[in-house]
């Protein structure tokens, strides 16, 4: 593959970057599918993370944050679904530490090099005998089954691999995540993992992750709820043997573009796989006073239950979008707002255009619905992603534990 510039960044078949291993197994936390796994790097990797802002931050999330913050370095992450190990008090903290130590002992590395991630039911003790058994079964393979082992109510794995050239070396960056409900970052009920064989310092990686998450994962919403366990962790082991990436260089810019492609794709995958969702919704705001306000308005629209229900019902009731805009504190030209859905203009100068309802209903049957809004208040923009609100969402969450 010949790639020499940012323009030649390519999405390829899912694969693990150089020097990374992964595996999954069925430990019995869930009835009939793999529910535990790990990622391992041959050498300690520079690492970065972002974490839920929920005040009831789960024990695994807190422990991983503490571990990464010591030196921005990890060599492995062990993870499970089926149990969140959240709201379990001191026992939860103890169990998270034990899970970290078990994985470290199995890999013959220091516990300070191991991150922990859990997802599932809140408030139930972690069954440590099953955790121990699961860790004992994990191997150093290139198993893609790990991408399924972390799923809860998701309908499918969410994965991507992007390749680019920096410093004459091919760089592979791979991401996978889970997330379907309880999605309203900062952060969401999601776990996200990105591995890359690029060489980049931990502090630079942390800055890149934090800023990119603000434009991607933190701009999705499914149901307005924020979970206790969410995190995104990135590991960069330098196995591609490029010169360490530094901000301000062309190679850094290329890598940033590839990295953003990974996170953007995963964010959209989560939004489109919202619990019970039938449509992916993208909102693009133009004419905003500032980028922050553009982002706020986009997220307010995509997060409005009235808008979500409107889209599910395939009803061109553009008043739902106007009320969502008006609920924000953003600058708005009250007589100059425009709204379009899939290219059909419903509102011009804050007044309905009289477009035929049947035409709007027809376009709302598409699997992806794009809402474009112009606030006519500046030159900034914003984008957010979400989904419609369906009867299935209530059904799933009314019986989540059964």
- Tell whether residue 381 is among the known ligand binding residues: no
Question: Is residue 338 included in any domain, yes or no?
Answer: yes
- Residue 180's pLDDT is 58
Point out the least confidently predicted range of 31-40, 91-100, 354-363, 389-398. Answer: 389-398
Point out the least confidently predicted range of 42-46, 81-85, 118-122, 158-162. Answer: 118-122
Out of 272, 307, 327, a domain closes at 272
Tokens of 221: 């919403």
Question: Is residue 147 included in any domain, yes or no?
Answer: yes
Instruction: In whole angstroms, give the CA distance from residue 214 to residue 343.
Output: 27
Q: What is the pTM of this model?
A: 0.80
- Tell whether residue 275 is among the known ligand binding residues: yes
- Tell whether residue 402 is among the known ligand binding residues: yes
- Tell whether residue 397 is among the known ligand binding residues: yes
**Cα torsion 177, 180, 181, 183: sign:** positive
Do 140 and 238 reside in the same domain of the chain?
yes
Instruction: In whole angstroms, give the CA distance from residue 209 to residue 196.
Output: 13
Check: CB of residue 235 under 8 Å from CB of residue 45: yes
Do 87 and 171 reside in the same domain of the chain?
yes
- Residue 219's pLDDT is 82
Instruction: Tell me the percentage of the chain whose pLDDT exceeds 70.
Output: 89
Question: Is residue 1 included in any domain, yes or no?
Answer: no
Assess whether pLDDT exceeds 60 at residue 222.
Answer: no
Burial class of residue 136 in the structure, from the number of CB atoms within 10 Å of its CB (0-12 exposed, 13-18 middle, 19+ buried): exposed
Do 139 and 267 reside in the same domain of the chain?
yes
Summarised one tens digit per residue, pLDDT across range 34-47 is 999 999 999 999 99
DSSP 8-state secondary structure symbol assigned to residue 333: -
pLDDT, mean over the chain: 89
Question: Is residue 262 included in any domain, yes or no?
Answer: yes
Residue with tokens 């500046």: 378
Do 159 and 265 reside in the same domain of the chain?
yes
Question: Which residues contact residue 179 at a Cβ distance below 8 angstroms, ignoring those fewer than 6 apart?
Answer: 154, 158, 188, 189, 190, 191, 192, 270, 273
Pick 126 or 230 by higher pLDDT. Answer: 126
The stretch 136-142 carries a mean pLDDT of 97
Do 206 and 354 reside in the same domain of the chain?
no
Summarised one tens digit per residue, pLDDT across range 331-343 is 999 999 999 999 9
Out of 249, 272, 295, a domain closes at 272
- Tell whether residue 362 is among the known ligand binding residues: no
- Residue 376's pLDDT is 97
Do 189 and 74 reside in the same domain of the chain?
yes
- Residue 395's pLDDT is 62
Do 25 and 160 reside in the same domain of the chain?
yes
Give the helix ranges, DSSP H, for 164-237. Answer: 202-215
- Residue 3's pLDDT is 42
The stretch 256-277 carries a mean pLDDT of 84
Tokens of 255: 């890598």
Burial class of residue 354 in the structure, from the number of CB atoms within 10 Å of its CB (0-12 exposed, 13-18 middle, 19+ buried): exposed
CA proximity to 339, closest of 284, 258, 294: 284
Q: How many domains does the chain have?
A: 2
Do 312 and 217 reside in the same domain of the chain?
no
Question: Is residue 317 included in any domain, yes or no?
Answer: yes
Helices 305-312, 291-303: inter-axial angle, 10-degree rounding:
60
Point out the least confidently predicted range of 45-59, 235-249, 378-392. Answer: 378-392
CA proximity to 57, closest of 118, 101, 144, 147: 118
Cα angle 216-36-43, degrees, rounded to a multiple of 5: 70
Catalytic residue set:
189
Terminal CA-CA length for the chain: 49
3-state secondary structure of 44: strand
Question: Residue 113 to residues 64, 76, 109, 133, 194: CA-CA distances in angstroms?
Answer: 10, 6, 7, 21, 16
Do 253 and 309 reside in the same domain of the chain?
no
Do 389 and 354 reside in the same domain of the chain?
yes
Do 20 and 165 reside in the same domain of the chain?
yes
Burial class of residue 284 in the structure, from the number of CB atoms within 10 Å of its CB (0-12 exposed, 13-18 middle, 19+ buried): middle
Out of 272, 292, 314, a domain closes at 272
Do 230 and 314 reside in the same domain of the chain?
no
Q: Phi and psi dihedrals of 395, rounded to 5?
A: -60, -45
Summarised one tens digit per residue, pLDDT across range 282-317 is 999 999 999 999 999 999 999 888 998 889 899 889
Residue 321: domain span:
280-398
Question: Is residue 166 included in any domain, yes or no?
Answer: yes
Question: Is residue 336 included in any domain, yes or no?
Answer: yes
Question: Is residue 260 included in any domain, yes or no?
Answer: yes
Query: What is the CATH number for 200?
Result: 3.60.70.12
Tokens of 176: 């996978």
- Tell whether residue 215 is among the known ligand binding residues: no
Query: What is the CATH number for 331?
Result: 3.10.20.340
């Amino acid at each position: 593959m010949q790639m020499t510039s940012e323009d030649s960044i390519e999405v390829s078949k899912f694969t693990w970057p150089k020097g990374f291993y992964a595996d999954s197994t069925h430990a019995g936390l869930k009835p009939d599918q793999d529910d535990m796994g790990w990622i391992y790097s041959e050498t300690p990797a520079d690492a970065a993370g972002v974490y839920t802002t929920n005040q009831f931050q789960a024990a695994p999330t807190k422990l991983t944050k503490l571990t990464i913050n010591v030196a921005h370095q990890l060599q492995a992450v062990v993870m499970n679904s089926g149990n969140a190990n959240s709201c379990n008090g001191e026992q939860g903290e103890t169990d998270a530490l034990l899970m970290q130590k078990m994985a470290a002992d199995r890999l013959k590395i220091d516990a300070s090099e191991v991150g922990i991630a859990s997802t599932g039911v809140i408030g139930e003790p972690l069954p440590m005998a099953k955790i121990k058994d699961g860790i004992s079964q994990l191997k150093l393979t290139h198993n893609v089954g790990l991408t399924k082992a972390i799923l809860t109510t998701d309908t499918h794995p969410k994965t991507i691999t992007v390749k680019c050239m920096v410093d004459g070396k091919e760089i592979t960056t791979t991401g996978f995540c889970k997330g379907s409900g309880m999605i309203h970052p900062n952060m969401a009920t999601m776990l996200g993992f990105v591995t890359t064989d690029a060489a980049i310092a931990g502090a630079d990686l942390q800055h890149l992750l934090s800023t990119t998450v603000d434009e991607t994962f933190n701009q999705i919403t499914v149901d307005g709820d924020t979970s206790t366990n969410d995190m995104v962790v990135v590991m960069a082991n330098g196995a591609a043997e490029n010169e360490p990436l530094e901000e301000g260089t062309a190679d850094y810019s290329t890598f940033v573009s590839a990295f953003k492609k990974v996170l953007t794709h995963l964010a959209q995958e989560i939004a489109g796989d919202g619990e019970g969702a039938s449509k992916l919704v993208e909102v693009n705001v133009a004419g905003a006073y500032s980028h922050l306000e553009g982002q706020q308005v986009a997220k307010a629209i995509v997060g409005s239950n009235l808008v979500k229900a409107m889209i599910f019902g395939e009803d061109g009731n553009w008043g739902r979008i106007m009320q969502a805009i008006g609920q924000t504190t953003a600058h708005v030209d009250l007589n100059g707002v425009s709204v379009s859905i899939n290219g059909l203009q419903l509102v011009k100068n804050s007044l309905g255009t009289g477009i035929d309802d049947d035409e709007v209903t027809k376009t709302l049957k598409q699997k992806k619905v794009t809402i474009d809004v112009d606030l006519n208040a500046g030159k900034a923009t914003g984008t957010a992603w979400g989904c419609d609100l369906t009867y299935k969402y209530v059904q799933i969450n009314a019986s989540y534990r059964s």
